[in-house]
Amino acid sequence: MTIPGPYLLYLGDARDEISVKTSRGVAVFRPDLSLGEYRRSREAVTLGLPQMSFAEAAAAGARTLILGVANAGGILGDEAVEDVVAALEAGLNVAAGLHDRLNAQPRIRAAAERAGRQLFDVREPPAYLRVGTGAPRRGRRLLTVGTDCSVGKMYTTLALARALAGRGAPADFRATGQTGILVAGAGVPVDAVVADFISGSVEMVSPARDDDGWDLIEGQGSLFHPSYAGVSLGLLHGAQPDALVLCHEPGRTSMRGLPGRSLPDLKTCLEANLEAARLTNPGVIAVGVALNTSKLDPEAARDVCAATAEALDLPCQDPFSMGVDLIIDRLDECFGLSRPLANTGR
């Protein structure tokens, strides 16, 4: 889909940084399209963009409101419905990636028709999906996996794709979630796909390629999260990854949305992901660990990365503050970014 830009990024009344990860992801990776932000109150989190009303944004040239908030279940609450109607009446199109569809809300649909504006539901999966086959397909693939939700899998995947392209290797980011789709402009929202078709949808979003390049596939959820492990497993099987990068946030005390349920240790998590991935690619290996150290000071961040690298014998970096060069070096060491693919059917 082509969503008209520039964008006004919606933060609502969110007080939790993770709750606005979609708006933040668009702001970070599409700054050229991020004109401003809308907050319901001064207490809401901010992205540091110019604060605008819907009318001010439309007057400044914004064309679409990105409803970039996330909550458990992807619910479109009453306040959000009111704001979407107001944005449409101000002349903005609206895009959202929630499980609650914009087009399923009578008030929103009627307002869009009155204003002559468009609604974009990016979490609507394609209608022509097939079940996965597990059949080998040519090309190289890297999948990010995590100890939990919202630990930096999308950011890491985008950073790896950019770093590979910077070294002259053909590389494509393959989006599997609402934020990634809004950034890339294409993809499949795997958490909205009927369970039987999850692995097939990933096979579709990462088809065979013959240019010795890499597909960098955005991971979702965690094998250790009771709510979302099914999506994570389907991704592992459909991606047929040659390489895995494990993502984690040091210091997180419980699973996202599940107070009291602890996260797995990194070694256990990595081994479980490798074992699951071997079903469709027996040769899969781990090539690095990506840590979200945003809550640590620089010295503590360096120390935890060094300790993790030593414990797992893998390069470990924070993609945001340290880049991903060490992980790309390991990928090159293991696969040779300039070497042609072996004639294995992969």
pLDDT in tens, 24-44: 889 988 999 999 999 988 888
> Which pLDDT value is given to residue 290?
98
* CA pair distance 317, 231, nearest whole angstrom: 26
Do the beta carbons of residue 239 and residue 117 sit within 8 Å?
no
Which of 29, 28, 36, 32 has the alpha carbon at shortest distance from 55? 36
More confident residue, 172 or 75: 172
For the chain, list the domains and their CATH numbers: 7-121 (3.40.50.720), 140-335 (3.40.50.300)
Determine which helix (DSSP H) or strand (DSSP E) holds 216, and give its type and residue range: strand 214-217
For residue 235, pLDDT over 90 is answered with yes
How many Cα atoms occupy the beta-carbon half-sphere of 125 within 13 Å? 22
pLDDT band at 341 (very low <50, low <70, confident <90, very high): very low
- Residues listed for the chain: 346
pLDDT band at 17 (very low <50, low <70, confident <90, very high): confident
Under DSSP, is residue 131 helix (H, G, I), strand (E, B) or coil?
A: coil
**What SS3 string covers 42-56?**
CCCCCCCCCECCHHH
For residue 58, pLDDT over 60 is answered with yes
> Which pLDDT value is given to residue 343?
36
For residue 228, pLDDT over 90 is answered with yes
8-state DSSP, 163: H
State whether the Cα torsion 336-337-340-344 is positive or negative: positive
Provide φ and ψ at 285, rounded to 5°.
Answer: -135, 160
**Range with the lowest mean pLDDT among 11-25, 41-55, 276-290, 300-314?**
11-25
CB atoms within 10 A of CB 133: 12
Residue 337 Cα distances to 54, 212, 325, 327, 328, angstroms:
47, 8, 13, 13, 9
pTM: 0.86
For residue 260, pLDDT over 80 is answered with yes
> Which pLDDT value is given to residue 1?
62
pLDDT band at 73 (very low <50, low <70, confident <90, very high): low
8-state DSSP, 20: G
What percent of the chain stands above pLDDT 90? 76
For residue 137, pLDDT over 90 is answered with yes
pLDDT band at 71 (very low <50, low <70, confident <90, very high): low
- Examine residue 6 and say whether the peptide bond preceding it is cis (omega within 30 degrees of 0): yes
H-only helix segments in 206-316: 229-239, 266-277, 298-312
Q: Can you tell me which residue has the tokens 């990933």? A: 202
Q: What angle do CA 225, 226, 231 make, to 5 degrees?
A: 75
> Which pLDDT value is given to residue 344?
39
> Which pLDDT value is given to residue 98?
81
pLDDT band at 72 (very low <50, low <70, confident <90, very high): low
Q: Can you tell me which residue has the tokens 């009111």? A: 82
> Which pLDDT value is given to residue 307?
98
- Arithmetic mean of pLDDT over the chain: 92
> Which pLDDT value is given to residue 126?
85
